[in-house]
A and B are shown apart, each in its own frame.
Chain A
Amino acid sequence: MASVSLTVNGQAVSGEVEDRTLLVQFIRENLRLTGTHVGCDTSQCGACVVHVDGKAVKSCTMLAAQADGTAVTTIEGLANSDLHPMQTAFKENHGLQCGFCTPGMIMSAVDMVNRLGSDLDEKTVRSELEGNICRCTGYHNIVKAIQDGASKM
């Protein structure tokens, strides 16, 4: 068993977990923050993206024990109050349908802006979304939402 202590969405949390526990399992099952999703087994779909120490990672490809001592932000903790501008942009641009990939998309989008700034062209956004798969929207409105959200961050 591994003892893990980390900060999740600003709150100190700790737990005793099996060493094999993935960060996403810790978030979903131990903390019951179920906004972070699992959509594939091969680290490609990006439904599980969270921020670890400010950087986007796939929480299905990291052990909870590896995250010991870090600060994690999930979709539930993205906004301080009300909505984050990127969340609002996804709604206003109809950037989601079934909602399953959406938390990962939004977390990736915020990370994208953090890294590349707010003036994102379409080609950049599309290329930066390599690690996030959506089956519903055809990406058209996700791209628009990210550009819009970026400009408002």
Chain B
Amino acid sequence: MYNTNYQRVSSTDEATAAMDAAEDGKYVSGGQTLIPTMKQRLAAPSDLIDLRHIDAMKGITVDGNQVTIGAATSHAEVANSAELCEVCPSICNLASHIGDPHVRNMGTIGGSVANNDPAADYPAAMMALNAQIMTNKRTIDTDDFFTGMFETALEEDEIITAVTFPAPAKAAYAKFPNPASRYAMAGVFVAKLKNGMARVGVTGAGSDGVFRHEAMEEALKSDWSVDAIAGAQVDEGDMLSDIHGDGAYRANLVKVMAKRAVEASQ
């Protein structure tokens, strides 16, 4: 790892001030992606600004039908929140399968969403749940937020403070893990929203990162059933292809995981 200057901040204002002062700063939350990247010398931020101790960014609130999860909330906290599980068990289930137990104790939802790794789990959920990404500057609709692999609408010093979404009527996440990394080779989050919409977020498989499968959404809107998406097409040309599986295989996985998610939805 190249040397860096670690700073712990306790407010977003302090964080942005540190970022503005830094030559090439980076925010770190759980660090479960950034620190390995720095260890491999593939990232070399001059300053590392630790957001994990900003109290305002922690915790889960359920206000009627609206769920808000602070960006610095760990995967383990999301997985184990009884209050959250009451209204949206699918997101708890998703969180309980991110990485491994040790990673879940450190990694945070804000970090995962901001990083937008094409094989990360949360972005699929954010898309399907029609979440809004709240930052220190504004609120961004999920459809405008994820702009491609590792790309988001975040500005240089912008910080995700929370994500918020209405609890769905029904939802579930099904993931097929890569045999080596255990990241998603295909992860599909399906959500039947209380406004009648159906949304399907797909991670791991697409060659341009997380995406919504609109044909499946259309089919599920009128008929929330496995049969409704039995004939859905996934274009293998839009899929990633690597030593773990070609586009045809990943396209198949997307279909299979979508069906399994619908089947498991509650």
Contacts and interface: CB of A to CB of B under 8 A. Distances in A.
Interface of A: 2, 18-20, 22, 41-44, 46, 49, 52, 55-58, 60-63, 65-66, 68, 108, 111-112, 115, 128, 130-132
B104 to A, nearest CB: 9
Given A20-B2, A61-B31, A131 B99 contact: yes
Contacts of A20: 1-4, 38
A130 B181 CA distance: 10
Contact of A61 (B3, B5, B35, B50): B35
B105 A131 contact: no
A57 B106 contact: yes
Instruction: Classify chain B: how many residues form its interface, as a range.
Output: 20 to 34
A118 B3 CA distance: 43
B31 A66 contact: yes
Given A2-B6, A111-B101, A131-B101, A19 B106 contact: no
Interface of B: 1-6, 8, 31-32, 35-36, 38-40, 48, 50, 52, 76, 99-103, 105-106, 181-182
A56 B40 contact: no
Main secondary structure of the interface of A (DSSP, over half): mixed
Main secondary structure of the interface of B (DSSP, over half): mixed
Contacts of A65: 6, 8, 50
B6 A63 contact: yes
B36 A43 contact: yes
Given A18-B3, A42-B36, A62 B106 contact: yes
A130 B31 contact: no
A26 to B, nearest CB: 13
B43 to A, nearest CB: 12
Closest 9 CB pairs of A and B: A131-B100, A19-B6, A130-B100, A65-B6, A55-B105, A20-B1, A58-B102, A56-B102, A61-B35
Given A20-B38, A43-B35, A131-B102, 20 more contacts: A2-B6, A18-B3, A19-B4, A19-B5, A19-B48, A20-B2, A20-B4, A41-B36, A44-B181, A44-B182, A46-B100, A57-B105, A57-B106, A61-B32, A61-B36, A62-B106, A66-B31, A66-B50, A108-B102, A115-B101
A43 B6 contact: no
Contacts of A66: 6, 31, 50, 52
Given A43-B36, A61-B31, A56 B99 contact: no
